[in-house]
Amino acid sequence: MRISPGGVGATTERAAVALLRGSVLWIGVAALLAGCVSRPDSRYPPNSANAASRGTYSTDTKDRPTASDETDASRRASVRLELAGAYFSRGQMTTALDEVKKSIAANPNVAAAFNLRGLIYGNLGDHQLAEESFRRAMQLDPKDADVMQNFGWYLCQRDRYAEADVLFSRALAVPQYQESARTLLTQGVCQARGGKPEEAERTLARAYALEPGNPAVAVNLSEVLYRKGDVERARFYIRRVNAVPNFVSAQTLWLAARIENKIGNAQGAADFSEQLRNRFPQSPEATALAEGRFNE
Quote the number of domains for the chain.
Answer: 1
Position 7 pLDDT exceeds 70:
no
Q: Would 119 be classed as within a structural domain?
A: yes
Give per-residue pLDDT as tens, 204-219. 999 999 999 999 999 9
Q: Would 158 be classed as within a structural domain?
A: yes
What is the pLDDT at residue 12?
25
Q: Would 276 be classed as within a structural domain?
A: no
Q: Would 287 be classed as within a structural domain?
A: no
196 versus 57: which is more confidently predicted? 196
What is the pLDDT at residue 67?
61
Four-residue CA torsion sign, 148, 86, 110, 123: positive
Please report, for the domain that includes residue 130, its CATH number: 1.25.40.10
41 versus 184: which is more confidently predicted? 184
Q: Comparing 4-8, 137-141, 288-292, which segment has the lowest mean pLDDT?
A: 4-8
pTM, to two decimals: 0.78
DSSP code per residue over 181-243:
HHHHHHHHHHHHHTT-HHHHHHHHHHHHHH-TT-HHHHHHHHHHHHHHT-HHHHHHHHHHHHT
Phi, psi of 198 (to 5 degrees): -65, -45
Q: Would 261 be classed as within a structural domain?
A: no
Q: Would 262 be classed as within a structural domain?
A: no
Q: Would 3 be classed as within a structural domain?
A: no
Position 251 pLDDT exceeds 90:
yes
Average pLDDT over all residues of the chain: 82
Q: Which residues span the domain enclosing 34? A: 11-212
According to DSSP, residue 40 is labeled: -
| Average pLDDT estimate for 234-261 | 97
Position 32 pLDDT exceeds 50:
no
pLDDT band at 57 (very low <50, low <70, confident <90, very high): very low
Position 52 pLDDT exceeds 50:
no
Give per-residue pLDDT as tens, 114-130. 999 999 999 999 999 99
Q: Would 197 be classed as within a structural domain?
A: yes
pLDDT band at 71 (very low <50, low <70, confident <90, very high): confident
Distance CA 179, CA 190 (A): 17
Position 3 pLDDT exceeds 50:
no
